[in-house]
C-alpha cells in the first residue's frame, strides 16, 4: 500500500514570506527518506506540505504539485481531509489526546471515519500497538490515559495511532528530538521495521540518526536569514555521507556550519 | 560583613536594618489586615443577614419555604419564598439553556472559525458588551425587547402550546413574563460565558489540534476530539459564573417582569417573581419587620449564589497553573 | 494480520480516493442568501409581524439547507462539519443582533434629549410628568459615590492582592483567595441589604451617598483584588530577587519595584472595576434614596445617581417624557462606562508588563 511521492516546483508561503522555494524530488515507496539541514531551512515546512498540514496555519499557502502515485494532492477537487487520512504524521513532541485512554487514542482515527465495530477496533488496537512495539508494555492498561506513559512510549503510541488508519505514507517531524537515547533507539528500530510497509519520510536534526535509519537523504539549505529554503541534493544516504556531490552538503555533514 | 567597617557605617547599617524590619512588619500587617478585613466583611454579610432573617422567621405565620404570598407587614405576617425561588430558578435556567450553547458557539467562532480580521475586534466588542450596566439592559428589555417578543410568544403558544410550559393561558397580554426575562438574562450573561470559554479554547495546545487534523479529522471533528474535551471544565465553570449572575440579577428583572405571587409553570404568562426583584420592589414601602423578611429572602439568594460560585471556582482552581511570583 | 487487509476494504469510510465531490467555495454564502430570502418570503407571506421570527426562520433554513446540501453532495462527515460551521455562524449572528439593537436603540433614543441643558440641570422644580429637567444632580451623585467607593475599595483591594501574591502562604491566604472569589459573586442587592442592616438600621445613619458608596465598595473590592493579583503575578521573580540581592528590604522592593512594574495593569483593573460599579443600580436604590435637587454632600441626605435616575424616570414617571430622560441618562451612563473601559484597555496595551508569561 506504500506509494511513491513526486514533488515538482513546490513553494510554500507564510503570508508574504516564502519559506521554501521551487522544490522537486521523488520519494521512493517502501524506503526511509531523511531530510536534514540547518535550522530554518524549511525541511519541516516541506514535510508538512506533503499531507497538506501546512495550510492549517492561518495565512499559509502552497504552490506547485505533489503527486501521490498518479494523484495531485493540490488538485482543486482533492479534499485535504482525505489526504491526511492517506498520509499520516508523527510530530516532534508526543501528542496523545490527554483526555483519552490508550485504546481510544489508537482508534481515534478509525472512530472519526465511522468504524464502530468493537471486534474490528480491538483487532486494530492490537495490531497497531504491536506494529509500534508498544503492545507488551501497555496491553494490561489499555484503558488508562495515554498521557500517563513515558515520553518514548507516548511517541510510539502516536505512531500506533498514525498507522491504525493504514496510511500509505508516514511523515515524521523530528520524532526523537524530545526523547532520551534509549527511547530514540526504540523508535529507530521501529522505523526500520515499518519501512517494509510504508513510505517513510523523516525530518531530523541528528545526522547520525539520518545515517542510521534512512535509505536516501535530502539536504536542505538556505542562502541566508530571511531567504527561502531550497533542496540542495537528494541521493542515497551512503553517498550523501561519504561522497556528496555538492560542497555545501559536505561542509554541513562534516560540521563546518549548521 | 566579615571585615570590620567604620563605626558610622556600622551604625547606619544597623539602623537601616531595624528600619527595614519595622517597615516590613508594618507593610506585612497592613496587607494581611486587608485580607482579614475582606474575610470579616464576608462573615459579617452572612452573619447580619442570618441574624435579621432569624428575627423574621420566628414570626412568620406561614411556611417560609412553601408559602406563595409575601405579606410580612400584615397583622399576621405571612410570607414565603416558593414563588420567588421558582421564578429565580426558572428564569436563570431558561437563560442558561439559551446562553450556554450560543456562548460556546461564539467562543468557537472567535477562537477557531472567524477570519482573524473579524475575530479580534469582535472579541473586543463582546467584552464591551459585558460592561453595559444592567439598568440599560432593563430599559432596553422593557421598551424594545418586550414589544418585539409579541410575535414569538404567540408563535410558541401556537406551535409549542401542547407542552403545557409554553401554553399561553391569557391571550394578548404583554409578554412581560419569565420567558422574556430568561431571554434578557441570556443576553446579559452571554459576554461573561463567552469570554471565559474563549480563553480556555485559546489555550488548547496547538499540537493536540494538529494531531487530530493529521488523522484526517474535519474541522468540526478536530474541535470535538481536541478542543471540547480540553475545554469542558472551562465551559462548566464559565456557565456557573453566568448562572450566578443570572440568579442575582435585580434591576433588569424588576423592570421587565410584571410580578405577582402566582406560581405557574406557564412561562409565557406574566407573573411570578425572583428573589432580587422582590427585594428591589418591596423594599421602599416595607416596614422594619418587612425588611427583615426581605433579608431572609436575601439570605437564601446569597447562599444559592455562594454555592454556585464556589462550585465554579473550585472547578477552575483545580486546573489553574502557577505563574510568576512565589513559584 | 488477516484483519489488516480487510479493514480498508470492508469500511467504505476508509476508501482511498483523495478526490471527493465538493461544494464550490461560494456555496455557504449562497445558502445564506437563499435562506435569508426564503426567511423573508415566508415571514412576509405568512404575515408574521415580528422580524425576530423572520430571522429565526432564515437561521433555521440556513442550518438545515447547509447540512442537507452537503450531505447530498459531499457525504456525511463533511455535512456534519458544514452543520457545525453553520451553527457557529448563526451563534455569531445571534450575538450581533442584540448588540447592534441595544447600541442603536439607546443612541437613537438618548440623542433626542441629550443636550447642554440636560447635562447641566437637575430635576428640581421640574414637573416630572412633563418635559425638561436633566441629570446634573445624578452626575454629581454618581461621580461622588463612585469616587468614595474607589477610595475605600482600591487600597484595601490592592493591599490584599499584595498580601496574597507577596506574602501569602498557608491557611489564611487560601481562605482569603477562596472568599475573594466567592465575594465576586455576591449579588449587588445582597451587598445593599448588608449595608442597610449594618449602617442604616443598626448604626442609625440616614440615607446618603456615602452609604451607597459602602455597598459599592464591597462589590468593587474582590474585582480589584483579582485583577491586581493577576498583574502582580506577571512581574517576573528575577526583578524581586535582583532587588533583594542589592539588600533592599521586602516592603521597599514591593513599593519601588513590583508595584511600579505592574502599575499599568493595576490601573486598568481598578478602572474596569469602577466601570462595573458605576452601573450598579440595586444597592444605590436602597441606600442613596434619590433626590430631585442637587446635593453635593455625599455624607448628608439623599443624593441622586445615574442608574437610580434611570430607574425612577422609568418606573415612577412612567410616561414618554420620563422614558426620554431615562434614555438620555442611559446614553450618558454607557458613554461613561465604555469610555472607562476603552481607556483602561488602552492603558493595559500601552503599559503591559514585559516578560512574565
State the pLDDT at residue A124: 92
A238 vs chain B: nearest CA distance in angstroms? 31
Architecture category of domain C136-350 in CATH: Orthogonal Bundle (1.10)
Burial (CB count <10 Å: 0-12, 13-18, 19+), residue C57: buried
Integer Cα distance of B237 and B312 in angstroms: 4
- Closest among A124, A118, A175, A127 to A151, alpha carbons compared: A175
State the pLDDT at residue C65: 92
Predicted TM-score (pTM) of the model is: 0.87
Domain B70-318 class in CATH? mainly alpha
Cβ of residue A82 closer than 8 Å to a chain B Cβ: yes
Inter-chain Cβ pairs, chain A and chain B, closer than 8 A = 65
Tell me the pLDDT of chain C averaged across its residues. Answer: 85
Stretch C285-307: mean pLDDT: 87
Q: Does residue C141 carry a pLDDT above 90?
A: yes
Percent of chain B whose predicted confidence (pLDDT) is above 90: 37
pLDDT tens for C69-83 read 888 888 888 899 999
Residues 56-85 of B with CB under 8 A from C: none
SS (H, E, C) chain A: CCCCEEEEEEEEEECCEEEEEEEEEEECCCCEEEEECCCCCCHHHHHHHCCCCHHHCCCEEEEEEEEECCEECCCCCECHHHHHHHEEEECCCCCCCCCCEHHHHHHHHHHHCCCCCHHHHHHHHHHHHHHCCCHHHHCCCCCCEHHHCCHHHHHHHHHHHHHHCCCCEEEEECCCCCCCHHHHHHHHHHHHHHCCCCEEEEECCCHHHHHHHCCEEEEEEECCCCCCEEEEEEEEHHHHHHCCCCHHHHHHHCCCCC
Integer Cα distance of A21 and A35 in angstroms: 15
C18 vs chain A: nearest CA distance in angstroms? 5
Which one of B116, B216, B225 has the shortest CB-CB distance to A85? B216
Mutate to test the interface with A, among B120, B202, B215 (most CBs of A within 10 A): B215
pLDDT tens for B154-211 read 888 888 888 888 888 877 788 889 999 999 999 999 998 998 898 889 888 888 999 9
Integer Cα distance of C215 and C284 in angstroms: 8
Report CB contact under 8 Å: A115, C11: yes
- Closest among A51, A169, A186 to A132, alpha carbons compared: A186
| pLDDT grade for C352, boundaries at 50, 70 and 90 | low
Cβ of residue B159 closer than 8 Å to a chain C Cβ: no
Task: State chain A's maximal CA–CA distance in angstroms.
Answer: 56
State the pLDDT at residue B327: 25
Mutate to test the interface with C, among A52, A79, A164 (most CBs of C within 10 A): A79
Integer Cα distance of B193 and C150 in angstroms: 27
Tell me the pLDDT of chain B averaged across its residues. Answer: 85
| pLDDT grade for B318, boundaries at 50, 70 and 90 | low
State the pLDDT at residue B62: 84
C357 vs chain A: nearest CA distance in angstroms? 21
Report CB contact under 8 Å: A99, B212: no
Integer Cα distance of C131 and B131 in angstroms: 30
Report CB contact under 8 Å: C190, B301: yes
Cβ of residue A201 closer than 8 Å to a chain B Cβ: no
Residues with Cβ within 8 Å of residue C238, at least 6 apart in sequence: none
pLDDT tens for B207-263 read 899 999 999 899 999 999 999 988 888 898 889 889 988 998 999 999 999 888 888
Percent of chain B whose predicted confidence (pLDDT) is above 70: 90
State the pLDDT at residue C76: 84
Report CB contact under 8 Å: B324, C236: yes
State the pLDDT at residue B11: 53
Cβ of residue B141 closer than 8 Å to a chain C Cβ: no
Distances (CA, A) of A6 to A52, A72, A166, C14: 15, 9, 20, 23
Q: What is the dihedral of CA C285, C289, C294, C296, to 10 degrees?
A: -90
Which residues on chain C are in Cβ contact (under 8 Å) with A113?
Answer: 11, 13-14, 77
Where do we find the cell 394578548? B172
- Closest among A220, A221, A216, A176 to A195, alpha carbons compared: A216
A86 vs chain C: nearest CA distance in angstroms? 7
Q: Which residues pair with A218 in a beta bridge?
A: A35, A234
Which one of C165, C190, C281 has the shortest CB-CB distance to B45? C190
Residues 191-230 of B with CB under 8 A from C: 194, 218-221, 223
- CA-based nearest residue in chain B for residue A164: B215
A165 vs chain B: nearest CA distance in angstroms? 8
| pLDDT grade for B108, boundaries at 50, 70 and 90 | very high
Integer Cα distance of B4 and B13 in angstroms: 12
Q: Does residue C133 carry a pLDDT above 90?
A: no
Stretch C75-93: mean pLDDT: 90
Percent of chain C whose predicted confidence (pLDDT) is above 90: 30
**Residue A210 CA from chain centroid, whole number:** 13
B99 vs chain A: nearest CA distance in angstroms? 26
Q: Enter the ipTM.
A: 0.88
Show the CA angle centred on residue A62, arms to residues C73 and A213, nearest 5°. Answer: 105
- CA-based nearest residue in chain A for residue C2: A123
Domain boundaries along the sequence of chain C: 21-111, 136-350
State the pLDDT at residue C2: 40
**Tens of each residue's pLDDT in chain A, 258 residues:** 678 999 999 999 998 889 999 999 999 999 999 999 998 888 999 999 999 999 888 889 999 999 998 889 998 888 888 899 889 999 999 999 988 899 999 999 998 888 889 999 999 999 999 888 899 999 999 999 888 899 899 999 999 999 998 898 999 999 998 888 888 998 999 999 899 989 999 999 888 999 999 999 999 998 887 789 999 999 999 999 998 999 999 999 888 776
User: Which residues of C lie closer than 8 Å to A, measured between beta carbons?
Assistant: 1, 3-4, 7-8, 10-11, 13-14, 16-22, 76-78
Burial (CB count <10 Å: 0-12, 13-18, 19+), residue A208: exposed
Domain boundaries along the sequence of chain A: 5-96+168-253
| pLDDT grade for C15, boundaries at 50, 70 and 90 | low
Which residues on chain A are in Cβ contact (under 8 Å) with B210?
Answer: 53, 56, 89, 91, 95
Residues 1-40 of C with CB under 8 A from B: none
The domain A5-96+168-253: what is its CATH number?
A: 3.40.50.300
Report CB contact under 8 Å: C3, A123: yes
Stretch B15-44: mean pLDDT: 85
State the pLDDT at residue B122: 87
Q: Does residue C6 carry a pLDDT above 70?
A: no
Integer Cα distance of C157 and C149 in angstroms: 12
Stretch C329-345: mean pLDDT: 90
State the pLDDT at residue B14: 55
Domain boundaries along the sequence of chain B: 1-37, 70-318
State the pLDDT at residue C3: 41
Mutate to test the interface with A, among B205, B216, B230 (most CBs of A within 10 A): B216
Distances (CA, A) of C220 to B42, B323, C20, C216, C274: 13, 25, 58, 6, 7
Report CB contact under 8 Å: C159, B326: no
Q: How many CA atoms lie within 13 A of A56 on its CB side?
A: 22
Which residues on chain A are in Cβ contact (under 8 Å) with B230?
Answer: 98-99
| pLDDT grade for B1, boundaries at 50, 70 and 90 | very low
- Closest among C156, C114, C157 to C139, alpha carbons compared: C114
Distances (CA, A) of C21 to A77, A167, C27: 7, 21, 13
Report CB contact under 8 Å: B136, C310: yes
pLDDT tens for A178-218 read 888 888 998 999 999 899 989 999 999 888 999 999 999 99
Integer Cα distance of B270 and B260 in angstroms: 8
State the pLDDT at residue C351: 65
Amino acid at each position: 500500500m506504500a506509494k511513491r511521492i513526486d514533488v515538482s516546483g513546490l513553494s510554500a508561503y507564510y503570508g508574504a514570506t516564502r519559506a521554501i522555494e521551487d522544490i522537486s524530488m521523488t520519494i521512493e515507496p517502501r524506503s526511509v527518506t531523511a531530510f536534514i539541514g540547518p535550522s530554518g531551512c524549511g525541511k519541516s515546512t516541506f514535510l508538512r506540505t506533503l499531507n497538506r498540514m501546512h495550510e492549517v496555519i492561518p495565512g499559509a499557502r502552497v504552490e506547485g504539485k505533489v503527486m501521490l502515485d498518479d494523484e495531485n494532492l493540490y488538485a482543486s477537487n482533492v479534499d485535504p481531509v482525505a489526504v491526511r487520512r492517506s498520509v499520516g504524521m508523527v510530530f516532534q513532541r508526543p501528542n496523545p489526546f490527554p483526555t483519552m485512554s490508550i485504546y481510544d487514542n489508537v482508534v481515534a482515527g478509525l472512530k472519526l471515519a465511522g468504524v464502530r465495530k468493537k471486534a474490528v477496533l480491538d483487532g486494530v488496537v492490537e495490531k497497531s500497538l504491536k506494529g509500534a512495539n508498544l503492545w507488551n508494555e501497555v496491553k494490561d492498561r489499555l484503558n488508562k490515559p495515554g498521557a500517563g506513559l513515558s515520553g518514548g512510549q507516548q511517541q510510539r503510541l502516536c505512531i500506533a495511532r498514525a498507522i491504525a488508519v493504514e496510511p500509505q505514507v508516514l511523515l515524521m517531524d523530528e520524532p526523537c528530538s524530545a526523547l532520551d537515547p534509549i527511547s530514540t533507539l526504540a523508535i529507530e528500530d521501529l522505523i526500520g521495521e515499518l519501512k517494509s510497509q510504508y513510505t517513510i519520510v523523516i525530518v531530523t536534526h541528528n545526522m547520525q540518526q539520518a545515517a542510521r535509519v534512512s535509505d536516501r537523504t535530502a539536504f536542505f539549505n538556505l542562502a541566508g536569514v530571511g531567504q527561502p529554503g531550497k533542496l540542495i541534493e537528494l541521493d542515497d544516504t551512503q553517498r550523501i555521507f561519504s561522497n556528496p556531490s555538492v560542497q555545501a552538503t559536505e561542509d554541513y555533514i562534516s560540521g563546518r556550519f549548521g | 560583613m566579615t571585615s570590620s567597617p567604620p563605626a558610622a557605617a556600622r551604625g547606619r547599617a544597623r539602623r537601616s536594618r531595624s528600619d527595614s524590619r519595622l517597615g516590613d512588619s508594618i507593610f506585612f500587617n497592613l496587607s494581611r489586615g486587608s485580607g482579614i478585613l475582606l474575610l470579616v466583611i464576608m462573615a459579617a454579610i452572612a452573619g447580619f443577614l442570618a441574624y435579621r432573617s432569624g428575627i423574621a422567621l420566628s414570626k412568620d405565620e406561614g411556611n417560609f419555604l412553601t408559602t406563595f404570598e409575601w405579606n410580612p407587614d400584615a397583622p399576621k405576617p405571612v410570607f414565603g419564598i416558593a414563588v420567588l425561588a421558582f421564578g429565580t430558578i426558572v428564569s436563570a435556567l431558561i437563560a442558561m439553556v439559551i446562553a450556554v450553547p450560543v456562548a460556546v458557539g461564539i467562543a468557537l467562532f472567535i477562537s477557531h472559525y472567524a477570519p482573524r480580521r473579524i475575530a479580534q475586534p469582535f472579541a473586543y466588542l463582546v467584552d464591551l458588551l459585558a460592561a453595559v450596566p444592567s439598568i440599560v439592559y432593563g430599559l432596553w428589555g422593557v421598551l424594545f425587547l418586550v414589544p418585539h417578543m409579541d410575535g414569538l410568544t404567540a408563535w410558541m403558544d401556537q406551535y409549542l402550546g401542547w407542552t403545557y410550559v409554553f401554553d399561553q393561558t391569557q391571550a394578548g397580554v404583554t409578554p412581560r413574563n419569565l420567558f422574556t426575562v430568561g431571554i434578557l438574562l441570556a443576553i446579559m450573561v452571554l459576554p461573561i460565558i463567552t469570554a471565559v470559554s474563549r480563553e480556555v479554547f485559546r489555550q488548547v495546545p496547538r499540537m493536540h489540534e494538529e494531531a487530530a487534523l493529521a488523522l484526517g479529522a474535519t474541522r468540526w471533528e478536530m474541535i470535538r476530539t481536541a478542543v471540547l474535551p480540553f475545554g469542558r471544565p472551562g465551559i462548566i465553570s464559565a456557565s456557573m459564573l453566568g448562572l450566578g449572575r443570572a440568579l442575582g440579577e435585580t434591576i433588569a428583572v424588576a423592570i421587565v417582569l410584571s410580578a405577582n405571587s402566582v406560581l405557574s409553570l406557564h412561562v409565557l404568562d406574566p407573573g411570578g417573581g425572583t428573589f432580587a426583584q422582590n427585594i428591589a420592589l418591596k423594599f421602599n414601602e416595607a416596614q422594619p419587620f418587612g425588611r427583615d423578611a426581605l433579608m431572609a429572602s436575601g439570605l437564601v439568594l446569597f447562599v444559592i449564589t455562594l454555592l454556585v460560585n464556589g462550585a465554579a471556582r473550585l472547578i477552575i482552581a483545580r486546573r489553574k497553573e502557577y505563574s510568576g511570583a512565589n513559584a | 494480520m488477516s484483519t489488516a487487509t480487510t479493514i480498508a476494504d470492508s469500511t467504505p469510510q476508509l476508501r482511498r480516493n483523495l478526490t471527493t465531490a465538493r461544494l464550490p467555495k461560494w456555496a455557504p454564502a449562497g445558502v445564506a442568501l437563499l435562506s435569508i430570502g426564503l426567511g423573508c418570503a415566508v415571514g412576509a407571506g405568512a404575515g408574521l409581524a415580528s422580524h425576530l421570527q423572520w430571522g429565526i426562520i432564515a437561521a433555521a433554513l440556513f442550518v438545515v439547507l447547509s447540512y442537507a446540501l452537503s450531505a447530498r453532495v459531499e457525504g456525511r462527515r463533511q455535512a456534519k462539519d458544514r452543520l457545525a460551521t453553520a451553527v457557529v455562524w448563526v451563534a455569531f449572528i445571534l450575538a450581533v443582533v442584540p448588540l447592534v439593537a441595544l447600541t442603536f436603540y439607546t443612541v437613537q433614543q438618548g440623542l433626542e434629549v441629550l443636550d447642554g441643558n440636560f447635562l447641566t440641570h437637575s430635576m428640581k422644580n421640574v414637573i416630572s410628568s412633563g418635559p425638561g429637567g436633566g441629570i446634573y444632580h445624578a452626575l454629581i451623585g454618581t461621580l461622588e459615590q463612585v469616587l468614595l467607593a474607589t477610595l475605600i475599595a482600591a487600597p484595601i483591594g490592592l493591599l490584599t492582592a499584595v498580601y496574597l501574591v507577596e506574602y501569602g502562604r498557608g491557611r489564611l491566604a487560601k481562605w482569603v483567595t477562596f472568599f475573594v472569589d466567592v465575594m465576586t459573586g455576591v449579588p449587588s442587592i445582597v451587598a445593599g441589604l448588608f449595608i442597610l442592616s449594618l449602617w442604616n438600621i443598626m448604626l442609625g445613619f440616614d440615607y446618603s451617598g456615602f452609604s451607597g458608596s459602602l455597598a459599592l465598595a464591597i462589590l468593587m473590592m474582590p474585582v480589584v483584588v483579582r485583577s491586581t493579583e493577576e498583574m502582580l503575578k506577571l512581574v517576573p521573580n528575577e526583578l524581586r530577587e535582583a532587588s533583594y540581592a542589592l539588600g533592599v528590604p521586602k516592603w521597599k522592593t514591593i513599593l519601588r519595584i513590583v508595584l511600579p512594574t505592574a502599575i499599568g495593569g493595576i490601573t486598568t483593573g481598578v478602572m474596569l472595576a469602577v466601570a462595573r460599579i458605576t452601573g450598579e443600580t440595586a444597592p444605590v436604590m436602597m441606600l442613596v434614596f434619590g433626590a430631585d435637587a442637587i446635593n453635593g454632600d455625599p455624607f448628608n441626605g439623599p443624593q441622586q445617581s445615574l442608574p437610580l435616575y434611570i430607574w425612577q424616570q422609568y418606573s415612577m414617571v412612567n410616561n414618554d417624557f420620563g422614558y426620554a430622560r431615562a434614555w438620555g441618562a442611559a446614553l450618558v451612563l454607557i458613554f461613561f462606562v465604555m469610555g472607562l473601559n476603552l481607556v483602561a484597555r488602552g492603558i493595559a496595551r500601552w503599559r503591559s508588563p514585559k516578560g512574565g508569561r
